[in-house]
Structure 1
């Protein structure tokens, strides 16, 4: 087991999939991080050296991920609600925010 940001990953998992499992990291961001640290796209977590794991953890700790990112999203929605904007009112009523139809289900 390899620990990255306190989360354990099996050694047979791909590094790309392990990075994408963090909330806030997608396909492009994980590929960019892997390229920055010279990690092959098909590399497994078990093949990483301890130095690489440490540098990955250091870089990921500077990014807004997981609960911090979710909290930011909730704060933005709450800000829109208190402002009384159209989107905020739609959020408060539980209706579609981005122009979807409400007549058909």
Structure 2
């Protein structure tokens, strides 16, 4: 097991996929990080030298990921609701926000857009 930013990863997991498990780190950002530290895209976490692991941890600690990113997203949604925009109202009602149809399949949006309602 390799520890990166307080998370244990199996030694057989790809470094790219391990980085993408962090919230707000997608494929593009993980590829940039791999290129910055000259890590092969197919490299496994167990093959990384300890210096590279500490460098990755230091790099990730400077980025806005996990709880900080979640807080920013929630603040943005709250701001939209407070100023009364169409998108804010859709978030509050648990409906699709980005123009999807509501006639048939809204179960995913109802599950994902749950924001506490103020009565």
Q: Which interval holds the TM-score relative to the shorter structure?
A: over 0.9
| Superposition RMSD in Å | 1.1
Find the counterpart in structure 2 of residue 91 from structure 1: 91
TM-score (norm 2): 0.82
- The structure, 1 or 2, with the larger RCO (C-alpha pairs under 8 Å, 6+ apart) is 1
CA distance in 1, matches of 2:5, 2:87: 35
TM-score (norm 1): 0.92
Find the counterpart in structure 1 of residue 78 from structure 2: 78
How many pairs are equivalent? 105
Q: Which runs of 5+ in 2 are unaligned?
A: 106-119
Tell me how far 1:86 sits from its aligned partner: 1.2
Tell me how far 1:36 sits from its aligned partner: 0.4
Find the counterpart in structure 2 of residue 21 from structure 1: 21
SS in 1 for 2:41: coil
CA-to-partner distance for each residue in 1:2-42, whole Å, 9 max, x for gaps? Answer: 10000001111111111111111111111110010011111
Find the counterpart in structure 2 of residue 36 from structure 1: 36
Tell me how far 1:104 sits from its aligned partner: 3.1
Q: Which runs of 5+ in 1 are unaligned?
A: none
CA distance in 2, matches of 1:15, 1:103: 41
Tell me how far 1:60 sits from its aligned partner: 0.6
CA distance in 2, matches of 1:3, 1:84: 44
CA distance in 2, matches of 1:97, 1:9: 35
Find the counterpart in structure 2 of residue 69 from structure 1: 69
